[in-house]
Amino acid sequence: MPDSQPQPPHSSSSSGSSGPSDPTALLLCGARLTDGRTVDVRLGSGRIEAVGTAGSLAAGGTRAGGAHVDLSGYLLLPAPAEPHAHGDTALSADAGGPVSYDPHVVQRRATEAALLQLGHGATALRAHVRVGDVQGLGALAALLRARRSLRGLTELTTVAMPRLLTGVAGADGLAMLRDALKMGASVVGGCPDLDPDPTGYVEAVLGVASEHGCPVDLHTDATDPARLSRLAAMAGGLRPGVTLGPCGGLGRLPSVVASRTADQLAAAGVTVVCLPQGGCGGVEQRGTAPVRLLRTAGVRIAAGSGTLRDVSNPVGRGDPLEAAYLLASRYGLRPEDAYDAVSASARAALGLPEVRVEAGFPAELLAVRGDRLAGALSLAYSRIVVHRGRVVARTSAVREYCNSAVAAELGLPRQGRGELS
């Protein structure tokens, strides 16, 4: 039975260094890329400085003060990002009773959840946070404190989500939304499906976003194609752009209607964040957006984890590789496209720069034990996470077998131990 636990990153000082001292230098040795090459990758000042054939960079050494990490047996990938988390309710399922919005409790849960997702490989995270009602701005303040404490480990951004924005009650929500942006929330969000006037809600959100020059990230699961069409028309041309999720209602529409709506979303430049693992606060029916139909129409598709062990999904894992695995196994995407949804497309949805394992790109990387992407998506256990050119998390797992004739016949190690992929 696998036993997985995070372990402190370890690396060893490299010898034979040359050039000026650079304590940030890091050499990743013997990593395998998705194109089959085995390479060394040199990192410095938070970026990829060089990529060369295995042994070519190690022979010259890293700069003085640098270190190296042996990635033999690992596949090296651009790090994933988490575009749709709920930091204010994460890890609350086991507490029993109503969710606590005590700021100290929220900060602790949000920090722990972000570290769990970092261990899975996500070096950037967008957390949706309710503002107004019982929690006021307390939950947002807790997430902002968590963001500060996590600096250097992962990038945490927050989306302010008011419940109502129209009518008499909506005036308070609108004031709270503006206050949230002044506090430090960087994205305007919410769930128009829960407002008596969904169109008015969207108009209010887009208006505030235009005032402050910030992105929009809305929850919707509506099966009303007219509402989605209006939303697409209203969102078109807004810069920064508009993200919608989880959009599972599209999958319940007749294919012709869904296809027409997908074309409208594509024309508006809207990004759809689907949640193949299921579970999202405020969404009554689970389901995943029709990802292949949307991709065919030209809609950018990113994938997120949604809720992490709260009442909406008490067994949520928050693992980007699981989301990609489900897109490949359940929805028929190629492994490369499935991983793109949790990495390149997820980063683009968050407004982050592109990452490639090439010189000049940000050193945001994930190494997973294995030699092919398809195998890595089968929920690989052993992972090494690099953020800003530094190893920030390492997880390894060991499987043990009893000493038996069967184990011997299979050629397992004498002690019956082997590292999981």
Q: What integer pLDDT is reported at residue 311 of this predicted model? A: 85
Q: Which of 57-61, 121-125, 152-156 has the lowest mean pLDDT?
A: 57-61
Residue 420 has pLDDT above 90, yes or no: no
Beta strands in 8-46 (DSSP E): 12-13, 26-32, 38-44
Residue 18 has pLDDT above 70, yes or no: no
CATH 2.30.40.10 in the chain is located at 3-78+355-407
Residue 96 has pLDDT above 90, yes or no: no
- Residue 314 phi/psi, 5° resolution? -65, -10
Query: pLDDT band at 226, cuts 50/70/90?
Result: confident
Secondary structure of residue 182 in the 3-state scheme: helix
148, 164, 147: which is closest to 156 by C-alpha?
147
Q: What integer pLDDT is reported at residue 277 of this predicted model? A: 86
Percent of the chain clearing pLDDT 70 (strictly above): 86
Q: Please give the full DSSP string across 336-351, using - where no structure is assigned.
A: HHHHHHHTHHHHHHTT
Segment 256-285 mean pLDDT: 84
Q: Which of 156-165, 278-287, 375-384 has the lowest mean pLDDT?
A: 278-287
Q: What integer pLDDT is reported at residue 351 of this predicted model? A: 95
Query: pLDDT band at 286, cuts 50/70/90?
Result: low
Q: What integer pLDDT is reported at residue 421 of this predicted model? A: 60
Question: Which residues partner with 27 through β-bridges?
Answer: 42, 68
User: Tens of pLDDT along 177-192?
Assistant: 999 999 999 999 999 9
Q: Please give the full DSSP string across 118-140, using - where no structure is assigned.
A: HHHT--EEEEEEEEBTTTBTHHH
Higher pLDDT, 96 or 57: 57
The whole-chain average pLDDT of the chain stands at 87
Tell me the H-state helices in 14-102. 56-60
Residue 212 has pLDDT above 80, yes or no: yes
CATH of domain 3-78+355-407: 2.30.40.10
Q: What integer pLDDT is reported at residue 5 of this predicted model? A: 41
Q: Could you check whether the bond before residue 246 is cis, i.e. omega within 30 degrees of 0?
A: yes
Question: Which residues partner with 219 through β-bridges?
Answer: 245
> Is 0.75 surpassed by the pTM of this model?
yes
Segment 9-15 mean pLDDT: 40
Q: What integer pLDDT is reported at residue 7 of this predicted model? A: 44
CB atoms within 10 A of CB 98: 9
Fold of domain 82-349: TIM Barrel (3.20.20)
Tally helices (H) and strands (E) across the chain: 13, 19
CATH 3.20.20.140 in the chain is located at 82-349
Residue 53 Cα to chain centre, angstroms:
30
Asked if 320 and 154 touch (Cβ cutoff 8 Å), the reply is no
User: Tens of pLDDT along 321-366?
Assistant: 999 999 999 999 999 999 999 999 999 999 999 999 999 999 999 9
Segment 188-202 mean pLDDT: 94
Question: Which residues partner with 272 through β-bridges?
Answer: 244, 301
Q: What integer pLDDT is reported at residue 13 of this predicted model? A: 37
Residue 279 has pLDDT above 70, yes or no: no
Beta-sheet pairing, 12-13 with 417-419: unpaired
Q: Which residues contact 224 (CB under 8 A, 6 or more apart)?
A: 249
Q: For residues 407, 410, 414 and 417, what is the CA-based torsion angle, rounded to 10 degrees?
A: -80
64, 5, 6, 87: which is closest to 309 by C-alpha?
87
Beta-sheet pairing, 38-44 with 26-32: antiparallel
Identify the DSSP state of 249.
G
Place of tokens 């509402």: 227
Show the CA angle centred on residue 375, arms to residues 372 and 376, nearest 5°.
Answer: 85
Q: What integer pLDDT is reported at residue 60 of this predicted model? A: 53
Residue 216 has pLDDT above 90, yes or no: yes
Upper half-sphere CA count for residue 37 (Cβ side, 13 Å): 13
Rg (CA), the chain: 22
Question: Which residues partner with 53 through β-bridges?
Answer: 39
Q: What integer pLDDT is reported at residue 15 of this predicted model? A: 36
Show the CA angle centred on residue 351, arms to residues 346 and 355, nearest 5°.
Answer: 60
